[in-house]
Amino acid sequence: MSSTTKDSIATLEQATQLGLLEEEFEKIKKILRRTPNFTELSIYSVMWSEHCSYKNSIRLLKTLPRDGAHLLAKAGEENAGLVDIGNGLACAFKIESHNHPSAIEPYQGAATGVGGIHRDIFTMGARPVAALNSLRFGNLKEEKTKHLLRGVV
């Protein structure tokens, strides 16, 4: 990246190319009290991405139960949810969304998704005994979809 690109004032077009909405671009300008440069815009686009902030799915996730008598670690408060299943045993649960990384580099994106799930299970003091991937690819007649399918699966 040239120094003129990273230091230049960002545009709405660049913001949308990075996955930000016009309202988000305006919010960034309000937060900074000025128009961000390209580097700053890129940082916001990562922080506010679905992968990092769940900006689109958070409303649905908040409707799910977050506490209960058998929860040892509440959903969203630790690396993984932890449920007491009796007899001194617990079960750890973790989900990961890797849509964007998998779209950029299918094989590595998928690998880091599974790796992140295992990392978070291990940090709860548990061992993974099963992993389930729920994969969505889109229209299988599209070449891009076929490319993603070959790389991820």
Residue 108 falls within a domain, yes or no? yes
- Please state, in angstroms and as integers, the Cα–Cα distance from residue 92 to each residue in 7, 35, 66, 101, following that order: 44, 43, 14, 24
Question: Is the pLDDT assigned to residue 150 strictly greater than 70?
Answer: yes
| Residues 35 and 70 reside in one and the same domain | no
Question: Is the pLDDT assigned to residue 110 strictly greater than 90?
Answer: no
Neighbours of 80 (CB within 10 A): 19
pLDDT at 40: 96
| Residues 122 and 79 reside in one and the same domain | yes
pLDDT at 6: 61
Strand partners for 93: 81
Domain count, the chain: 2
Distance CA 143, CA 149 (A): 10
Q: Which residues are catalytic?
A: 51, 98
List the domain range (segments joined by +) for residue 83: 63-152
What pLDDT band is residue 86 in, cutting at 50, 70 and 90? very high
Give the mean pLDDT of 104-130.
86
What lies within 8 Å, CB to CB, of 44 at 6+ separation is: 20, 24, 28, 36
| Residues 37 and 86 reside in one and the same domain | no
| Residues 75 and 123 reside in one and the same domain | yes
| Residues 109 and 82 reside in one and the same domain | yes
Distance CA 103, CA 4 (A): 28
- Please state, in angstroms and as integers, the Cα–Cα distance from residue 38 to each residue in 6, 23, 25, 44, 109, following that order: 5, 17, 12, 10, 25
Question: Is the pLDDT assigned to residue 3 strictly greater than 90?
Answer: no
Residue 145 falls within a domain, yes or no? yes
Give the mean pLDDT of 95-122.
80
| Residues 90 and 126 reside in one and the same domain | yes
Neighbours of 120 (CB within 10 A): 20
What pLDDT band is residue 100 in, cutting at 50, 70 and 90? low
Token couple for 91:
């079960």
**Average per-residue pLDDT for the chain:** 86
| Residues 72 and 22 reside in one and the same domain | no
